[in-house]
Amino acid sequence: MNRDWIGELAALPVLVPMLGAAATLIFGRRPRTQSALQISALTCVLAISCLLLHLVDEYGTTAIQVGGWDAPIGITLVVDRLSATMLVVSSFVLLLVAIYGAGQSISDGDEHQPTSIYRPTYLVLTAGVSMAFLAGDLFNLFVGFEILLAASFVLLTVGATEERIRTGVAYVMVSMVSSLIFLIGIGLTYAATGTLNLAQLAERLDATPSGVRNACYAVLLVAFGIKAAVFPLSSWLPDSYPTAPAPVTAVFAGLLTKVGVYAIIRTHTLWFPDGAFDDILLVAGLATMLVGVLGAVAQTDIRRLLSFTLVSHIGYMVFGIGLATIAGLTGAVFYIAHHILVQTALFLTVGLVERQAGSVSLRRIGGLAAASPLLAVMFLVPALNLGGIPPFSGFIGKVALLEAGAADGSVLAWVLVGGSVVTSLLTLYAVARVWSKAFWRPREEAPEGHLFAANLPTLVEDSEDVHYDERVDPGRMPRLMVFATVGLIVAGLAMTVLAGPVLGIAERAADDLHNPDTYVKAVLGQGVR
């Protein structure tokens, strides 16, 4: 079969959302048309991503040299099983969150949010995510990160409230530090090797003195660790995400940290097949799990609680990467896909909780199970999935990682196994607290429940935080918002039902990662052009 056209498809997940962003800007005064264009563009990206996953799973890794300039001089986009899997999951999540946002806009009235900016920026964010997953060199990975940064700031600050501006500026400052460190790492790497192409770096770093190679990667690992919110570089996350609108928070929580995790996987497996930095990653994974989950159990704000669980579960992914075995990488890839779906679903559900109850503070809300049984189920299912209760996909992913750790047999791996179990139990405790207080306990028994007796204002303040612009509408949940959230919940359940095929794809992706020659040959020796 002629594989040229397969490679040509690789550029479309970047080009389609960019063209869609331009089209939505043209219709800036017609929000419904903007929304239709946004959802259409995202649907196209999802279809292309699914086709790419099918093709690379059948025919192997492929690459395109943009503009006809051969690697390592030109821009290289590479699609393998890992990047295609990430594209499919991310585009699916971005599509459903866009539908959720459309439902919110229709329900609240388009005048309540600057959609003329929001929707094009959302599509630019989509292009940045795709660019990061497809980039075949460090510079274009950096470009993908910067596209994400610019779009993220706009989405975080949309609405121009004081709280959002404050957290948006803090987020940008942290991201700029990460970008500066990334640039330093790029400069050091180019000075040491004369190239930024990932495949060529895999060859040249073998001939580079170990001290120089380790120094280059250490700098890059710090930059990627900030993006991925790996401890001790994770303190920025719980303060940045909870103040944004529900769709924005959901996308950030579900996707953006995974871009950093992806960068760690890609560079670590290509450049250090000998196991260097494995122990450092394992220790970082353990610390991330425990610190994150301990922060979660101390929270009374549901969004902050989920933000801390997000940090802790990044540790599971780093655990699998640090094992550097096919089994460990299989567990990591599976868990990344699971976590994107489940974490996004939970944040969207919390957005609906705030619409129903007027707050996400456990001190103020209660009785939601009786008031809205559907909402209770929508929280309970992904919460149990996140906690790793069998037979959900969270349990399957964690078992895969635990088995990989046990098979490794080292003392540190066994410590990680124990830490993973403790983290899972504490995660379950944290989400059980939310269920007990927000859903099961009558609102009248909440310490500050009397403050929410009737006619809740749009602006909700409490001693811990301020939430703006979430419309309070007890007893009514917009259908599109429910549809999108349920779609993500069902996708998480589908990973349980289809665990065999999904684990099969994850294992084949892990095998590719464990044998970087496949990637190198596709780019330098057997590329499309």
| Residue 222 confidence class, pLDDT cut points 50, 70, 90 | very high
pLDDT at 439: 86
pLDDT at 121: 92
The percent of residues above 90 in pLDDT, for the chain, comes to: 49
Distances (CA, A) of 4 to 74, 89, 517, 518: 17, 25, 21, 18
pLDDT digits (tens, 9 = 90+) for 364-387: 888 888 888 899 999 999 999 999
Helix (H) or strand (E) holding 77, with range, is: strand 75-79
19 Cβ partners below 8 Å, 6+ apart? 41
Task: Name the nearest CA neighbour of 128 among 141, 147, 115, 150.
Answer: 147
Are 35 and 95 a contacting pair, CB within 8 Å?
Answer: no
Q: Is the pLDDT of residue 124 over 60?
A: yes
pLDDT at 457: 37
Comparing 3-7, 29-33, 93-97, 252-256, the range with the smallest average pLDDT is 3-7
- Residue 265 has a CB neighbour count (10 Å cut-off) of 26
pLDDT at 456: 40
Distance CA 289, CA 55 (A): 35
Range of the domain at 504: 4-525
The top-scoring range by mean pLDDT among 17-31, 175-189, 263-277, 360-374 is 175-189
- Between 317 and 454, the more confident residue is 317
Distance CA 319, CA 328 (A): 8
- Residue 355 has a CB neighbour count (10 Å cut-off) of 23
Q: What is the mean pLDDT of residues 29-37?
A: 85
- Is-cis flag, bond preceding 447, omega within 30? no
Q: How many domains does the chain have?
A: 1
Comparing 61-70, 145-154, 501-510, the range with the smallest average pLDDT is 61-70
pLDDT at 365: 83
pLDDT digits (tens, 9 = 90+) for 334-372: 999 999 999 999 999 998 988 888 888 888 888 888 888
pLDDT digits (tens, 9 = 90+) for 44-101: 999 999 999 999 988 888 888 876 667 667 788 999 999 999 999 999 999 999 999 8
pLDDT at 253: 87
Which residue do the tokens 């990932």 mark? Answer: 198
Task: Name the nearest CA neighbour of 510 among 235, 317, 341.
Answer: 317
| Residue 107 confidence class, pLDDT cut points 50, 70, 90 | low
Q: Is the pLDDT of residue 504 over 90?
A: yes
Burial class, 454, CB count within 10 angstroms (exposed 0-12 / middle 13-18 / buried 19+): exposed
Q: What is the largest CA-CA distance in the chain?
A: 70
pLDDT at 461: 40
Question: pLDDT averaged over the chain?
Answer: 85
| Residue 473 confidence class, pLDDT cut points 50, 70, 90 | low
